[in-house]
Amino acid sequence: MSAVFDSVARFYSSSIGKKLLVALTGIVLVVFILGHMIGNLLVFAGPEAINEYGHMLQTSLHGAGVWIARLGLLAAVAIHIVATIQLTVANKAARKDAYGKQRFQVSSTSSRTMIWSGLTILAFIVYHLLHFTIRAGNEYNNPELYSYSLHGEEVHNVYKMVIDGFSWWPASVFYVIAMVLLCSHLSHGVSSIFQTLGLATHKTWPLIQKLGKIFALVILVGNCSIPIAILIFGYGR
């Protein structure tokens, strides 16, 4: 068993190991971000659609499914952040010259701010979990206010929760800011995944970069459409 732990430790201590973990956890998070956006957009299909979706998530595997997913995602986020910070620190140290001065390389704004956009997104994730998942500081857990009859069964009214949540302008503004930073993060991060896994060639790299930016833009528009529709255009109110 100790030999296995030693092998894992050696793998993680190498820059290649950390980059691979960042890429693999990045794939998990990208898939989640896309699926989460698609699920959230069901709010535009009306109360029954999104409440049925929310009830399905809450009852999968007798209620254990959603917690398995949450714990797995939190683990992926933790590994992604820690490995990225360690790589950033190592890269900065490697770019110093003999006199200890930093040597700067040409890079995009998104790549230079990856660590800061990532930490801001982490802060948003914590707030988002407190707001809509743990439902701290609000009445979203009150069944008298947030109950919906779905096929004869009383379920949590996700639709009303989303409408009420984004009707409060600070939450909507913070959400949009976080999505802009997420877009910046994804525009570089998605293409970097292909590069790290050796799936990018000199010929395909420009296309992969464009696809990464397109994906980031789709996520930005899709996610921001919800608070904008509710707060500015009064959708659902």
The answer to whether residue 132 is domain-embedded is yes
Q: Which residues contact 126 (CB under 8 A, 6 or more apart)?
A: none
The answer to whether residue 32 is domain-embedded is yes
* Mean pLDDT value across residues 194-223: 95
Q: What is the pLDDT of residues 26-45, one digit of tens each?
A: 999 999 999 999 999 999 99
pLDDT at 113: 64
pTM for this one? Answer: 0.87
The answer to whether residue 10 is domain-embedded is no
Where residue 104 falls among pLDDT bands split at 50, 70, 90? very low
Q: What is the pLDDT of residues 62-78, one digit of tens each?
A: 889 988 998 999 999 99
pLDDT at 100: 53
The mean predicted confidence, pLDDT, of the chain is: 88
Q: What is the CATH number of the domain that holds 86?
A: 1.20.1300
Q: What is the pLDDT of residues 116-172, one digit of tens each?
A: 777 778 888 888 888 888 888 899 999 999 999 999 999 999 999 999 999 999 999
pLDDT at 95: 64
Distance CA 80, CA 72 (A): 12
pLDDT at 126: 87
What is the DSSP secondary-structure string of 98-157?
Answer: TTSPBPP----HHHHTHHHHHHHHHHHHHHHIIIIIS-TTSSTT-TTTSEEEETTEEEE-
Expressed as residue numbers, the domain containing 88 is 18-94+108-231
Q: Are 53 and 42 in contact (CB under 8 A)?
A: yes
Number of domains within the chain: 1
